[in-house]
Structure 1
Amino acid sequence: MNSYGTGEGPAVRGPAVAWAVVDSVIGPLMLAATATGLVSVSFHARPAVRDTVLDRLRTRFGTEPVEAPGSPRLAEPVRQLAAYFAGGLHAFDLALDWSLTGGFPREVLRELARGVPYGTVVGYGELAARVGRPEGAQAVGAAMGANPLPVVVPCHRVVESDGGLGGFGGGLETKRQLLALEGVLPQPLF
């Protein structure tokens, strides 16, 4: 199943929400998955960030997320993210659980996942036009800021129309690193 699929698939037994922290070239990432698919990717997964994400998951799913680094639900996301960061994967093929987003933001994120491939960028306004709201560039920016699945749903590929980087929930240095990894920006000198 690709990253813009319905997220429906065979149920994987285990806790309602399994989570783990994994190392990456951009720092620790917290991944969470449900039986439907990957539901959350969070940058800078230090204790305060983890607590915030766990509270959000607890509230949304009405159950205690379980730390489960060996969970089958997380195995494929971990493998694909490692391959992506190593430069060997250019398109994610994961079941996703879109339940942490809805409405216009979900439309925008799905379009981003299916329509902005590795190594390319799109402007906020252009992405708004693609989902039928050409006046919605600011709303696209808000959707990017609320993206529960960054990297996998590549909000780092959305830039300002004048070529500026725009904002990024993981910080601009992380956005630069991801765009450099994909060959959009030059690698930093040091």
Structure 2
Amino acid sequence: MQIKRLKLSGFKSFVDSAELRVERGLTGIVGPNGCGKSNLLEAIRWVMGEGSAKSLRGGAMDDVIFAGTTQRPSRDFAEVSILAESDAANDVGDFGHEVEVVRRIERGAGSAYRINGRDVRAKDVALVFADAATGAHSPALVSQGRIGSIISAKPAERRAMLEEAAGISGLRNCGQPRPI
């Protein structure tokens, strides 16, 4: 599955609507400290169903909503949408070859999800991104702190990380006889 577009509104530092188009290939996000690079990655994880406010650097899920500054008032909601396309000829579940997932949270009201305009449950979103290479906990989404742990990892740990990223970590003992 390939991400084609990310739209954000009211999500953390993205108070105004912003749209990011993603082309095929490797995508890196660079920029000075404090410009929102980590917030983009967190927006992707959030719309894919991330349920832990702590993993999004917050105390509560409402913390993803723009809190306001001296120049800008706080927002009452945050919304992130992601447009993804299936790599294979297969459709994405019951949703077709291309799928748009939207997650919206209103202050004090919790999150709501939509897929291709239909209201769905968080579980339905998780099923769309259920394969090993996509989803909120995808090894392809490398956060700032994770880079340091990869660099300082022992060779065996690094190999395990690469196998997980390639989706082959479960194959290590495949084909070997099991003890009875």
Report TM bin, short chain: under 0.3
- Greater Cα radius of gyration, structure 1 or 2: 2
Higher normalized strand content (fraction of residues):
2
Higher normalized helix content (fraction of residues):
1
TM-score by length of 2: 0.28
